[in-house]
Chains A and B, each alone.
Chain A
Amino acid sequence: MSEDQIKNLRAEESLSLEAQFEARIARDEKIEPKDWMPEKYRQTHIRQMSQHAHSEIVGMLPEGNWITRAPSLRRKVALLAKVQDEAGHGLYLYSATETLGISRDEMYEQLHTGKAKYSSIFNYPTLTWADMGAIGWLVDGAAIINQVPLCNTSYGPYARAMIRVCKEESFHQRQGYEIMIKLANGTPEQKEMAQDALNRWWWPSLMMLGPTDDKSVHTAQSMKWKLKRKTNDELRQQFIDQTVPQADLIGLTIPDPDLKWNEERGSYDFGEIDWDEFWQVVKGHGPMNKARMNARVGAWERGEWVRDAAMAHAKKKNNRKQKQAV
Chain B
Amino acid sequence: MNNNLYNYILGIADNSLILGQRMGELCGHGPTLETDIACTNISLDLFGQVRSYFQYAAKIAGDGRTEDDIAMLRKEREYKNVLLAEQPNTNFAYTIARQFLFDVYHLAFLSELQNSKDLTLSAIAKKCVKEVSYHERFSSDWVKRLGDGTEESHLKMQEAINDLWTYTDELFHQTESDKVMIKEGVAVDTAKLKENYYKQVSALLEEATLETPESKWFQKGGKKGVHTEHLGYLLADLQYMQRTYPNMEW
A–B proximity contact (CB within 8 A): yes
Does B43 touch A at the CB level, under 8 Å? yes
Chain B's closest residue to A59 (CB) is B28
Contact B241 A71 (CB under 8 A): yes
Indicate whether A84 sits within 8 Å of B249 (C-beta atoms), given known contacts A69-B240, A303-B92, A305-B156.
no
Complex CA gap A178/B48 in Å reads: 20
Chain B's closest residue to A83 (CB) is B27
Does B237 touch A at the CB level, under 8 Å? yes
Does B3 touch A at the CB level, under 8 Å? no
Complex CA gap A141/B98 in Å reads: 39
* Per-residue B-contact encoding for A292-311, CB less than 8 Å = 1, 0 else: 00010011101111111110
**Which residues from A are CB-within-8-Å of B195?**
none
Indicate whether A77 sits within 8 Å of B48 (C-beta atoms), given known contacts A69-B238, A90-B33, A299-B31.
yes
Within 8 A of B (CB), among A100-119: none
Contact B148 A87 (CB under 8 A): no
Distance from B127 Cβ to chain A, minimum over Cβ atoms (Å): 15
Indicate whether A313 sits within 8 Å of B27 (C-beta atoms), given known contacts A73-B51, A87-B37, A303-B92.
no
**Which residues from B are CB-within-8-Å of A60?**
27-28, 36
**Which residues from B are CB-within-8-Å of A186?**
248-249
Complex CA gap A71/B72 in Å reads: 9
Does A70 touch B at the CB level, under 8 Å? yes
DSSP majority for the B interface? helix
**Which residues from B are CB-within-8-Å of A300?**
31
Does A187 touch B at the CB level, under 8 Å? yes
Does A312 touch B at the CB level, under 8 Å? yes
Does B47 touch A at the CB level, under 8 Å? yes
Contact A313 B37 (CB under 8 A): no
Does B206 touch A at the CB level, under 8 Å? no
Indicate whether A310 sits within 8 Å of B149 (C-beta atoms), given known contacts A68-B21, A295-B29.
yes
Which of A75, A91, A314 touches B250 (beta carbons < 8 Å)?
Answer: A75
Distance from A295 Cβ to chain B, minimum over Cβ atoms (Å): 7
Distance from A56 Cβ to chain B, minimum over Cβ atoms (Å): 9
Complex CA gap A34/B218 in Å reads: 60
**Which residues from B are CB-within-8-Å of A190?**
245, 248
Distance from B181 Cβ to chain A, minimum over Cβ atoms (Å): 24
Does A223 touch B at the CB level, under 8 Å? no
Contact B31 A313 (CB under 8 A): no
Complex CA gap A299/B249 in Å reads: 35
Does A248 touch B at the CB level, under 8 Å? no
Chain B's closest residue to A56 (CB) is B33
**Which residues from B are CB-within-8-Å of A94?**
33
Indicate whether A312 sits within 8 Å of B27 (C-beta atoms), given known contacts A76-B47, A80-B40.
no
Does A230 touch B at the CB level, under 8 Å? no
Complex CA gap A67/B71 in Å reads: 15
Contact B44 A313 (CB under 8 A): no
Does B24 touch A at the CB level, under 8 Å? yes
Contact B21 A313 (CB under 8 A): no
Chain B's closest residue to A57 (CB) is B33
* Per-residue A-contact encoding for B33-59, CB less than 8 Å = 1, 0 else: 111110011011001101100100000
* Per-residue B-contact encoding for A172-190, CB less than 8 Å = 1, 0 else: 0000000100110011011
Distance from B20 Cβ to chain A, minimum over Cβ atoms (Å): 9
Contact A67 B33 (CB under 8 A): no
Complex CA gap A186/B249 in Å reads: 7
Contact B245 A73 (CB under 8 A): no
**Which residues from A are CB-within-8-Å of B156?**
305
Distance from B246 Cβ to chain A, minimum over Cβ atoms (Å): 10
Contact A182 B250 (CB under 8 A): yes
Distance from B233 Cβ to chain A, minimum over Cβ atoms (Å): 10
Contact B40 A68 (CB under 8 A): no
Contact A313 B144 (CB under 8 A): yes
Chain A's closest residue to B234 (CB) is A68
Does B242 touch A at the CB level, under 8 Å? yes
Within 8 A of B (CB), among A14-50: none
Does B229 touch A at the CB level, under 8 Å? no
Does A81 touch B at the CB level, under 8 Å? yes
Distance from A89 Cβ to chain B, minimum over Cβ atoms (Å): 10
Does A88 touch B at the CB level, under 8 Å? yes
**Which residues from A are CB-within-8-Å of B249?**
182, 186
Given contacts A187-B248, A309-B149, 13 further A-B contacts (CB under 8 A): A70-B241, A72-B72, A73-B54, A74-B51, A77-B47, A83-B40, A84-B27, A87-B40, A186-B249, A190-B248, A306-B92, A313-B145, A316-B148
Give residues in B with beta carbon < 8 Å to A: 21, 24-25, 27-37, 40-41, 43-44, 47-48, 50-51, 54, 67-68, 71-72, 91-92, 144-146, 148-150, 152-153, 156, 234, 237-238, 240-242, 245, 248-250
The 10 sampled A-B contact pairs (Cβ below 8 Å) are: A64-B29, A71-B241, A73-B47, A73-B51, A88-B37, A182-B250, A295-B29, A303-B35, A304-B31, A309-B145
**Which 10 A-B residue pairings sit nearest by Cβ, starting from the closest?**
A303-B31, A309-B149, A309-B153, A71-B241, A60-B28, A71-B250, A306-B31, A64-B28, A68-B237, A84-B40
